[in-house]
């Protein structure tokens, strides 16, 4: 059977012949051109947005890179500073070791065994010598209190000079007595009533007498104080070499004020450090950073007194100590004060400081700096007045607003003038 499609020439021609393109009308052409233009416009807009997005990503990456480079530079600078400090410390140790070696070589041979024993027992010797220094000073301190004299701690310089001026013997080498060793010897004196006042005052007196002999570094004071409270003194010692002023404050904080609140210990360290610097360097202007109620009154300016009283923030109390040192230079008073002193801080304890995210250093917050200047924030708990009721008019009570305190004192005394310090330092 013959294929009909193949044999039909008309159909074959229709299958091979190309179809004609339909001609678009003018209206259709206009719509097509408009559609093409719109598609091109949308494509260009998308490309422009994508390019802008890529450019913003590149800028962000470059900015982050700059921050990281800056942070790395800061870290390298800190590492260089730390390495320099360690290098200086090692050089100092090497010099001390060299001097010690030369001294040992110059001693007679028959004393070498004795010297070896002394080196092994250096710590015991230092503790023994510290006790020898503290014992007579404690006796003099007790005698002053019993006789009604001012409770000014005896001068420590003579005792230390006597010990360090002697030549070495078969039983003793020359080692310096540190602040920590003297403090430990004083704290062990359980028979001495007032050893905490004695601890603070005696060491302070010694530091005042030896001013100029030891350098004071103040560049990192805020970081040291805050770090000591919130990270511990061990973290501070790992980071900084403490000058003798901070060594003294460390002993006070660890032996007396350790049970207080974080903000209370912080404000005590902050003000005590500034007062100490002012006593060491009276013309340097350190007192300008202290609250105004630390300024000495007429009696304090004109009467010889224990310099320790200048560290208490209450003017009325400081005047009382001038006339009644035996009343307050006792373990009962220092213990009650350490247990009951409170700094009014209504915020989270960590709000007292801010931390630099780059350097990692601490500094006081603006709110804390403002509260430090407010006399009404330096309070004690009500139980403190059970033992020392006469101080109600001199020291604000914890948890009682200043206005209520003022009214209560006025009612008790019958005259608003009695509440002098409540109004003198608002």
In three-state secondary structure terms, 378 is: strand
Residue 107 is predicted with a pLDDT of: 45
- Please state, in angstroms and rounded to a whole number, the distance separating the CA atoms of residues 400 and 415: 20
In a domain, 399, yes or no: no
Q: pLDDT-based confidence at 53, cuts 50/70/90? A: confident
Residue 91 is predicted with a pLDDT of: 72
Residue 149 is predicted with a pLDDT of: 46
Helices within 324-419 (DSSP H only)? 325-328, 331-340, 366-372, 384-387, 402-413
**In this structure, are 259 and 235 located in the same domain?**
yes
For the chain, the residue count is 426
Q: Residue 86: pLDDT above 60? A: yes
In a domain, 286, yes or no: yes
In a domain, 422, yes or no: no
**In this structure, are 185 and 274 located in the same domain?**
no
Least confident of 203-207, 212-216, 326-330: 212-216
**In this structure, are 235 and 317 located in the same domain?**
yes
Mean pLDDT value across the chain: 76
Residue 64 is predicted with a pLDDT of: 62
**In this structure, are 144 and 228 located in the same domain?**
no
Residue 55 is predicted with a pLDDT of: 86
- Please state, in angstroms and rounded to a whole number, the distance separating the CA atoms of residues 144 and 152: 8
**In this structure, are 227 and 206 located in the same domain?**
no
Q: Residue 361 burial by CB count (10 A; 0-12/13-18/19+): exposed, middle or buried?
A: middle
Last residue of a domain, one of 210, 238, 266: 210
In a domain, 73, yes or no: no
Other beta carbons within 10 Å of 315:
22
**In this structure, are 205 and 220 located in the same domain?**
no
In a domain, 130, yes or no: yes
**In this structure, are 129 and 180 located in the same domain?**
yes
Summarize pLDDT for 107-164 with one digit per residue, the tens: 444 444 444 444 444 444 444 544 554 555 555 544 554 444 444 444 443 333 333 3
**In this structure, are 198 and 253 located in the same domain?**
no
Residue 213 is predicted with a pLDDT of: 64
Average pLDDT over residues 78-90: 77
Number of structural domains in the chain: 2
**In this structure, are 228 and 321 located in the same domain?**
yes
**In this structure, are 233 and 325 located in the same domain?**
yes
Q: pLDDT-based confidence at 262, cuts 50/70/90? A: very high
Summarize pLDDT for 208-228 with one digit per residue, the tens: 887 766 778 888 999 999 999
Residue in the block written with tokens 């601890």? 199
Residue 226 near residue 364, CB atoms below 8 Å: yes
For residue 297, give its domain range.
214-391
Least confident of 140-154, 244-258, 295-309, 387-401: 140-154
Q: Residue 353: pLDDT above 80? A: yes
**In this structure, are 316 and 385 located in the same domain?**
yes
In a domain, 77, yes or no: no
Q: pLDDT-based confidence at 276, cuts 50/70/90? A: very high
Summarize pLDDT for 357-398 with one digit per residue, the tens: 999 999 999 999 999 999 999 999 999 999 999 999 999 999
Question: Between these two residues, 412 and 372, which has the higher pLDDT value?
Answer: 372
In a domain, 356, yes or no: yes
**In this structure, are 136 and 179 located in the same domain?**
yes
Q: Residue 344: pLDDT above 60? A: yes
Q: pLDDT-based confidence at 20, cuts 50/70/90? A: low
In a domain, 381, yes or no: yes
């Amino acid at each position: 059977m013959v294929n009909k499609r193949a044999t039909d020439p008309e159909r074959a021609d229709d299958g091979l012949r190309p179809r004609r393109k339909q001609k678009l009308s003018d209206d259709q052409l206009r719509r097509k051109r408009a559609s093409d233009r719109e598609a091109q416009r949308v494509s260009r807009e998308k490309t422009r947005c994508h390019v802008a997005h890529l450019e913003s990503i590149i800028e962000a990456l470059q900015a982050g890179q700059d921050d990281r480079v800056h942070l790395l530079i800061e870290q390298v600078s800190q590492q260089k500073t730390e390495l320099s400090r360690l290098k200086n410390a090692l050089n100092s140790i090497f010099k001390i070791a060299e001097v010690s070696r030369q001294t040992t070589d110059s001693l007679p041979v028959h004393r070498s065994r004795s010297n070896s024993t002394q080196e092994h027992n250096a710590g015991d010797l230092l503790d023994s010598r510290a006790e020898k220094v503290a014992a007579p000073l404690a006796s003099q301190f007790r005698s002053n209190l019993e006789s009604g004299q001012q409770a000014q701690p005896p001068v420590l310089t003579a005792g230390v000079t006597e010990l360090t001026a002697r030549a070495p013997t078969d039983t003793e080498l020359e080692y310096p007595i540190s602040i920590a060793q003297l403090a430990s010897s004083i704290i062990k004196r359980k028979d001495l009533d007032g050893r905490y006042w004695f601890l603070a005052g005696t060491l302070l007196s010694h530091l005042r007498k030896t001013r100029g002999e030891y350098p004071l570094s103040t560049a990192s004071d805020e970081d040291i104080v805050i770090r000591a409270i919130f990270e511990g003194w061990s973290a501070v010692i790992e980071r900084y070499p403490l000058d003798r002023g901070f060594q003294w404050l460390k002993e006070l904080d660890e032996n007396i004020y350790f049970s207080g609140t974080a903000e209370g210990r912080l404000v005590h360290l902050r003000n005590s450090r500034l007062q100490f610097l002012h006593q060491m360097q009276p013309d340097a202007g350190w007192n300008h950073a202290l609250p105004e109620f630390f300024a000495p009154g007429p009696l304090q300016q004109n009467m010889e007194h224990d310099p320790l009283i200048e560290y208490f923030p209450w003017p009325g109390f400081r005047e009382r100590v001038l006339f009644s040192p035996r009343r307050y230079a006792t373990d009962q008073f220092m213990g009650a004060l350490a247990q009951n002193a409170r700094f009014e801080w209504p915020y989270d304890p960590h709000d007292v400081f801010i931390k630099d995210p780059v350097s990692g250093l601490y500094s006081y917050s603006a709110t804390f700096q403002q509260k430090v200047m407010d006399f009404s924030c330096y309070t004690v708990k009500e139980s403190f007045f059970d033992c020392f009721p006469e101080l109600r008019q001199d020291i604000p009570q914890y948890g009682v607003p200043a206005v209520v305190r003022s009214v209560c004192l006025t009612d008790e005394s019958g005259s608003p003038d009695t509440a002098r310090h409540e109004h003198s330092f608002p």
